[in-house]
Amino acid sequence: MAVREIFAGMPWWVKWIAVPVVAIVVFGGLIATVVGFLVGLLFKALIFVVIVGGLIYVVRKFMSSSSSSSDRRDW
């Protein structure tokens, strides 16, 4: 017996309302956990990119200021 045959005799609201609601109730915690994990991972990746970018900016700024000050000492 195929799934289409099972749902063939059912009213439309069972297919389009009741079954999705039951799926959300049963798997809602799992869905929320996965979505929360993905959002947390995305946030951590964004923080990582910001910190590394800031570190690169500070190092380049420091290196350019130290090289320009050493140029002044050469004169």
Residues 52, 40, 49, CA angle at the centre, nearest 5°? Answer: 10
* pTM metric for this prediction: 0.58
- Assign 69 a pLDDT band (cuts: 50, 70, 90): low
Considering just the CA atoms, what is the radius of gyration of the chain in Å?
A: 29
pLDDT at 68: 64
Give the per-residue pLDDT at 72.
Answer: 52
How far does Cα 19 stand from its chain's mean position? 28
DSSP, collapsed to helix, strand or coil, labels residue 9 as coil
Interval 5-56: pLDDT, tens: 888 889 999 989 999 999 999 999 999 999 999 999 999 999 999 999 999 9
Structure tokens at 58: 């500070």
Q: Are 17 and 25 in contact (CB under 8 A)?
A: no
